[in-house]
């Protein structure tokens, strides 16, 4: 009996050692990637928990932007089998990120509860934020040849002011950045087998946000030039690159066809509502804020300079995408890109931080390695010290300040747009039609049809270039009896509606940092007292 028992323990011990070896071998083989991945999980969770704790100290769970509710509304239409109908029976092309809406639609299989959907959205955002941080670590590690430097890159990425604020806002940015970073990682690999993979990533990036098209418009031509310089470009590679672009086009084609079928235009209505020739005042605001950021954050100038070094080393993509996005926003929407805590510009800041950290670490270590007897440890220590002093530490005060701004922003949206939306659900008929300027929570939570006066969700209003009087006629013809507007907007309608307008609800914010205006009111319209020619 004793012999059999010892034999059993011996077999069990042998199986344990075999299992440990089986698990340890791939970890040992990919030790660098495993270390970076674990660091990405820890660092991203720390910053996410930090911001969430601050949010809960300010208010109940919610989103820091009203637009986040727009994505959930589109997600609900996908789940319900009537995709892209923002109001019942009215198709829309107002989604800036159909891929994000499709991803969020999975939440409705588990819950329909408001708070549950908020936490589910935040959980998906954190997961993608972690994956993005991991890719940043891999990119910096490949550019510098050091996994430790990759971890420094992750630290810089999560410290970027506004980054965690936006990643947890409920917007599509975590998905968009993950796909752009994944695209960069694939662009840096020159083997032909990655071409089709890149095409798939580029197509998905466009569906995550239209600016994702830069992967094809900028990334693919630069990659071809690099292949040409390395004398690796032949007819087969040209054909493979064209195929990659074709795959990307096939992925985005259904969305383009939907847009065209609804409005007659290929791009979503958000493009036509926001993109325009900038005014002098808009350019002045752009210049003011960029001058402020350049003085406050050295990583901007550092990133622009050392990006040239990375480009010489045939690693230009983070630098190029930062420049390309900056030019795109400056030419098309310089003022809009500054709104809502400059959320549109966060990817630009992210890429500049990645470039500045990777480029600085590479330059400093290479300078030391040119010595006759280089001290590698000392070189890395000095490189990290310089990066910490010039790039990481200057971001910390704003990173901390942004945590409170995040909590305050969620509080503002909860106390204004969410509060008004819930009031509308309780105090208006289920078939009521409400004209709004904030189309997110007031559509999703009120469950009422809306007319979006911001020209995003209603194709007719967006593309007909209506006057105020024509808009009011449109509202009357669509049985709209309620207005939910900020004080800044209602004055334009008073001249026409004064006789038939009565205020039925009012919300005022005393700590507003994110809303268009501190006062939002609901008005009831009595069309029998209104005269419209």
How would residue 277 be classed by pLDDT, with cut points 50, 70 and 90?
confident
Report d(CA 426, CA 446) in Å as an integer.
8
Structure tokens at 167: 């990643």
Let me know if residue 180 belongs to a domain. Answer: yes
Residue 23 has what pLDDT?
Answer: 45
Average pLDDT on 31-41 reads 93
pLDDT-derived band of residue 533, with 50, 70 and 90 as boundaries? Answer: low
| 344 and 417 both lie in a single domain | no
* pLDDT at residue 373 tops 80: no
Whole-angstrom distance, CA of residue 283 vs CA of residue 408: 28
Same domain as 494, residue 363: no
Q: Are residues 53 and 137 in the same domain?
A: yes
Question: Quick one: which H or E segment has residue 421?
Answer: helix 419-427
Closest CA to 69 of 49, 46, 94, 44: 94
Q: Residue 73 belongs to what domain range?
A: 31-404
20: confidence class by pLDDT, cuts 50, 70, 90:
low
Per residue in 187-204, pLDDT (tens digit) is 999 888 999 999 999 999
Number of structural domains the chain divides into: 2
Contact 265/275 with Cβ under 8 angstroms?
A: no
Whether 347 and 482 share a structural domain: no
- Ordered DSSP codes for 359-415: HHHHHHHHHHHTSSS--HHHHHHHHHHHHIIIIIGGGHHHHHHHHHHHHHHHHHHII
- 286 vs 473, more confident: 286
- Could you tell me the pLDDT band of residue 18, with boundaries at 50, 70 and 90? low
Going by pLDDT thresholds of 50, 70 and 90, the confidence category of residue 40 is very high
Tell me the HSE value of 396 on the side-chain side, using a 13 A CA sphere: 7
Which of the four pLDDT bands, split at 50, 70 and 90, describes residue 57?
very high
Residue 304 lies in a domain: yes
Q: Which residue has the tokens 């995040």?
A: 406
The verdict on residue 15 lying in a domain is no
pLDDT at 73 over 90: yes
Dist CA 288 CA 303 (whole Å):
20
Could you tell me if residue 37 is inside a domain?
yes
**pLDDT band at residue 375 under the 50/70/90 scheme:** confident
pLDDT, averaged across the chain? 90
71 and 181 in one domain? yes
Q: Which residues contact 7 (CB under 8 A, 6 or more apart)?
A: none
| In-domain check, residue 9 | no
164 within 8 A of 47, measured Cβ to Cβ: yes
Q: Name the token pair of 328.
A: 């795109």
Least confident of 314-318, 319-323, 498-502: 498-502
Q: State both tokens at 319.
A: 């630098």
Tokens coding 392? 């990481």
Final residue in a domain of this structure, among 404, 430, 465? 404
Residue range 162-189: average pLDDT? 97
Residues 124 and 232 both lie in one domain: yes
Say which CATH number the domain at 427 has. Answer: 3.40.190
pLDDT grade for 209, boundaries at 50, 70 and 90: very high
**Range 457-484 average pLDDT:** 84
Query: Domain boundary residue among 404, 433, 449?
Result: 404
* 103 and 227 both lie in a single domain: yes
Q: Are both 239 and 251 inside the same structural domain? A: yes
pLDDT of residue 12: 57
pLDDT surpasses 80 at 37: yes
Least confident of 51-65, 84-98, 409-423: 84-98
Question: Can you tell me the distance from the alpha carbon of 49 to that of 481, in angstroms, rounded to the nearest whole number?
Answer: 43
**22 occurs within a structural domain:** no
pLDDT reading at 211 higher than 90 = yes
What span, in angstroms and rounded, lies between the C-alpha atoms of 454 and 488?
Answer: 13
Does residue 4 form part of some domain? no
- Between CA 418 and CA 37 the distance in angstroms is 37
The answer to whether residues 406 and 164 touch, using CB atoms and an 8 Å cutoff, is: yes
Q: Which residues pair with 483 in a beta bridge?
A: 435, 523
Segments in 188-279 forming alpha helices (H)? 195-208, 214, 220-229, 235-263, 269-274
Q: According to the model, what pLDDT value does residue 27 have?
A: 45
- pLDDT at residue 16, as a whole number: 52
What's the whole-number mean pLDDT along residues 180-193? 93
Using CA atoms, how far apart are residues 346 and 322, in angstroms rounded to an integer? 10
Residues 6+ apart with CB under 8 A from 487: 517, 519, 521
Same domain, 333 and 433: no
Percent of the chain at pLDDT exceeding 70: 93
| Mean pLDDT score, 370-389 | 83
Residue 494 in 3-state DSSP? helix
Cα distances (Å, whole numbers) of residue 198 to 215, 246, 426 = 9, 11, 49
- The residue from 349, 375, 404 where one domain ends is 404
Whether 246 has a pLDDT exceeding 70, the answer reads: yes
Q: What is the mean pLDDT of residues 91-102?
A: 93
pLDDT tens, 408-442?
999 999 999 999 999 999 999 999 999 998 989 99
Residues 399 and 416 in one domain: no
Residue 460 has pLDDT above 70, yes or no: yes
The number of residues making up the chain comes to: 533
Average pLDDT, stretch 513-531?
Answer: 91
The verdict on 360 and 394 lying in the same domain is yes
- pLDDT tens figures, 104-124: 999 999 999 999 999 999 999
Do 135 and 153 contact (CB within 8 A), yes or no? Answer: no
DSSP classification of residue 237: H
- CA–CA distance, 190 with 209 (Å, rounded to integer): 26
In a domain, 10, yes or no: no
Q: Give 486's strand partners.
A: 520
394 in the same domain as 419: no
Give the per-residue pLDDT at 455.
73
Distance CA 13, CA 483 (A): 73
What is the SS3 assignment for 279-303? CHHHHHHHHHHHHHHHHHCCHHHHH
């Amino acid at each position: 009996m004793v012999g059999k028992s010892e034999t059993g323990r011996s077999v069990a011990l042998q199986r344990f050692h075999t299992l440990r070896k089986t698990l340890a071998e791939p970890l040992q083989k990919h030790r660098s990637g495993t270390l970076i991945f674990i660091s990405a999980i820890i660092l991203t969770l720390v910053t996410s928990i930090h911001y969430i704790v601050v949010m809960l100290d300010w208010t109940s769970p919610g989103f820091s932007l009203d637009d986040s509710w727009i994505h959930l509304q589109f997600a609900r239409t996908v789940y319900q089998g009537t995709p892209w109908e923002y109001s019942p029976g009215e198709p829309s092309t107002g989604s800036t990120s159909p891929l994000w809406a499709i991803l969020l639609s999975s939440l409705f299989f588990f819950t329909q509860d408001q708070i549950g959907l908020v936490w589910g959205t935040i959980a998906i955002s954190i997961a993608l934020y972690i994956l993005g941080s991991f890719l940043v670590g891999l990119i910096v590690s490949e550019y510098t040849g050091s996994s430790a430097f990759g971890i420094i890159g992750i630290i810089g990425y999560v410290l970027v002011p506004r980054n965690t604020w936006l990643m947890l806002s409920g917007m599509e940015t975590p998905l968009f950045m993950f796909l752009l970073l994944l695209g960069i990682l694939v662009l840096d690999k020159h083997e032909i087998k990655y071409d089709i993979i890149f095409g798939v990533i580029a197509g998905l990036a466009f569906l995550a946000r239209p600016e994702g098209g830069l992967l094809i418009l900028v990334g693919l031509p630069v990659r071809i030039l690099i292949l040409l310089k390395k004398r690796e470009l032949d007819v087969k590679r040209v054909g493979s690159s064209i195929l990659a672009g074709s795959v990307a086009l096939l992925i985005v084609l259904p969305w383009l066809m939907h847009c065209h079928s609804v409005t007659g235009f290929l791009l979503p209505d958000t493009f036509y509502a926001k993109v325009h020739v900038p005014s002098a005042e808009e350019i002045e605001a752009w210049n003011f804020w960029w001058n402020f950021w350049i003085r406050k954050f050295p990583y901007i100038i550092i990133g622009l300079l050392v990006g040239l070094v990375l480009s010489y080393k045939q690693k230009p993509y983070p630098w190029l995408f930062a420049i390309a996005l900056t030019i795109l926003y400056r030419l098309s929407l310089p003022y809009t890109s500054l709104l809502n805590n400059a959320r549109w510009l966060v990817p630009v800041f992210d890429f500049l931080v990645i470039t500045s950290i990777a480029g600085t670490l590479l330059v400093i270590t290479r300078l030391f390695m040119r010595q006759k007897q280089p001290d590698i440890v000392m070189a890395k220590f000095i490189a990290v010290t310089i990066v910490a002093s010039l790039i990481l530490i200057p971001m910390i005060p704003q990173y901390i300040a942004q945590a409170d701004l995040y909590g305050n922003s969620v509080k503002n949206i909860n106390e204004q747009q969410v509060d008004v939306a819930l009031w509308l659900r309780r105090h208006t008929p289920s078939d009521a039609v409400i004209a709004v300027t904030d189309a997110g929570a007031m559509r999703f939570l009120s469950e009422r049809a809306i007319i979006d006066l911001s020209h995003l969700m209603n194709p007719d209003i967006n593309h007909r270039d209506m006057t105020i009087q024509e808009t009011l006629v449109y509202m009357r013809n669509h049985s709209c009896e309620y207005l939910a507007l900020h004080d800044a907007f209602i004055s334009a309608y008073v001249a026409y509606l004064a006789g038939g307008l009565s205020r039925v609800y009012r919300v005022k914010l005393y700590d507003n940092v994110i809303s268009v205006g501190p006062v939002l009111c609901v008005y009831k319209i009595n069309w029998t007292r209104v005269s419209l020619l």
